[in-house]
Amino acid sequence: MLKDGYGREITYMRVSVTDRCNLRCVYCMPQEGIAQTAHREILTFDEIVQIVRIGAEEGISRIKITGGEPLVRKGIAALIGMLKAVPGIEQVTMTTNGVLLSHQIEELAKNGLDAVNISLDTLDETEYEKITRCGNLKQVIEGMKRACSCPGLTVKINCVPLMEVKEAQYLKLAQFAYEQGIRVRFIEMMPVGLGKKYKGRSQEEIRKILEKEYGRSRIAERCFGNGPAVYYQFEERNGEIGFISAMSHSFCTSCNRIRLTAAGYLKTCLQYDTGVDLKPLLRTGASKEEVRDAFRKAVSKKPYCHQFTETGKNASAKKEENIERKGMSEIGG
């Protein structure tokens, strides 16, 4: 069992496979893109599997593949199969913007992908193009529908609600999710990278918008994922709507996750740059036990909580020099 210094059990690792993306979402990446990490500095599939294998032996059981946009990485379906074959890994899922999904979903599912989360902030084509700068909404919807047709594959929508997007769009997303038989999760904007420049809508704001249409809400008794989402049921609709609300409803005390960046840095908290660079160990002949020891030490020093709102237990001890400066595409969304 893998625990951090505060006794939290760590079972979930987000693994970024690239910092590249085929979109330029306004709150994630500048229009001109970012200085991309050289291919030689990105972990190979074999290196990713080595780290995941150690994590699994320590207690990691669930892997989320992220980016950038993971579907721009060649051969990504093969990696899914490699990870599913690691003893102890019970589930491998993916977060994607969905643009390339329709052509890859069948192979991904064939290789064992358990679930896919599709990032989609609006169903209005004009607003979608404004937010993503270069996205094609029809391709995303097509990919989503093909994913829904894959037997046994769980499909969810991830939406980051922005103040500049009309309220009606969130009702449309909720209705669309209901009609497709899937769940939408509204994720509060995190002040990371370009996200600091945008004001998002809180969980309570979105709930009030939805309650006007669907009646009163109550917390669902079941949990429908591996992460911190809280799900609500509404009086006039079957199914559930989820909220991931790190800003208004901090879930740090029960955080079960760590992150592995595409360049091999094991990151233990989204806000801080604390962790360990595992790539040099892998590439200089370190033993498995040496890598395991570095892995364990990094997890043991996982921060107690983020300080985005500066109201946490150790807010007074916040150190600016340890604040993460990279954007989400570099960290791994």
Residue numbers in the known binding site for [4Fe-4S] cluster are: 21, 25, 28, 252, 255, 269
Are the C-beta atoms of residues 132 and 165 closer than 8 Å to each other?
A: no
Alpha carbon distance 88, 23 (integer Å): 34
- CA gap 36, 34 in Å, rounded: 6
Q: What are phi and psi of 45, to 5 degrees?
A: -60, -40
- Quote the CA–CA distance of 153 and 250 in Å, as a whole number: 29
Relative to beta strand 91-96, strand 275-277 is: unpaired
Q: Annotated binding residues for S-adenosyl-L-methionine, as ranges?
A: 27, 68, 119, 190
Binding residues for GTP, as ranges, are: 14, 95, 156, 257-259
Cβ–Cβ under 8 Å, residues 132 and 104: no
Two structure tokens written together for 94: 């993916």
Half-sphere exposure of 210 (CA within 13 A, CB side): 30
C-alpha dihedral, 245 to 246 to 251 to 256, nearest 10°: 110
Ordered alpha helix ranges (H), the chain: 45-58, 76-84, 101-110, 125-132, 137-148, 168-180, 203-214, 279-283, 288-300, 328-331
The 10 Å Cβ neighbour count of residue 103 is 13
Enumerate the known binding-site residues. 14, 21, 25, 27-28, 68, 95, 119, 156, 190, 252, 255, 257-259, 269
| Spatial separation of the C-alpha atoms in residues 230 and 225, rounded to whole Å | 9
Cα(62)–Cα(193) distance, integer angstroms: 27
- Rounded to whole angstroms, the Cα distance separating 96 from 333 reads 9
Q: Which residue has the tokens 């910092």?
A: 19
